[in-house]
Copies of this chain bind each other. A is one copy, B any other.
Amino acid sequence: MGRQDGPVLDDQVCFALYAASRAVTALYRPLLDDLGLTYPQYLVLLALWERDELTVTDLGRSLQLDSGTISPLLKRLEKLELVRRERRSDDERSVRVALTERGDALRAKAVPLPGLVGDAMGLDGAELDELRDTLRELTESVNAYRERL
């Protein structure tokens, strides 16, 4: 198995990563539906629950997403009245994103999610930690590689 005369789908780490990521998102979906959130919206709220009042750029750095993805996403969160957006007075280019009361309150409902999803992954705590660390190294390595084209 492995290299026959070209790349094989199931041998690819990249495909395993792609499939795993989508499976986990799909697991979150019905749970997040109850909170009225999509998965990326949940990630934005996670960042804000951890530290409120971030700029759009801060959020982009945290989630590794650009403004083209985040701006419309924040617009939808604002329409849901989960976040507020306001231009910073000391730098009018910058927009501060803050939780509303509703956005803050949603945190309590989200507390059980990570445990539930962790269980579904079928790995114990140590394995999850190791996997997370491996994935972080991989991401950093790949992004460094991309920098130098």
Contact = CB atoms under 8 A, between A and B. Distances in A.
Interface of A: 6-9, 11-28, 30, 39, 43, 46-47, 49-50, 62-64, 107, 110-111, 113-114, 117-123, 127-128, 131-132, 134-139, 141-143, 145-146, 149
Identical chains bound together, number: 2
A145 B6 CA distance: 34
B23 A21 contact: no
| Most chain B CB within a 10 A radius of its CB, from A12, A43, A119 | A12
Interface of A is mostly: helix
B9 A18 contact: no
Contact of A9 (B50, B128, B134): B50
| Most chain B CB within a 10 A radius of its CB, from A123, A141, A142 | A142
A121 to B, nearest CB: 5
Contacts of A145: 27, 119-120, 122
Nearest to A146: B27
A20 B17 contact: yes
B43 A18 contact: yes
B26 A146 contact: yes
B142 A46 contact: no
Contact of A21 (B21, B46, B62): B21
Given A18-B24, A19-B136, 13 more contacts: A7-B113, A7-B114, A9-B47, A11-B114, A11-B132, A19-B63, A20-B136, A20-B138, A21-B21, A24-B138, A27-B146, A122-B137, A123-B137
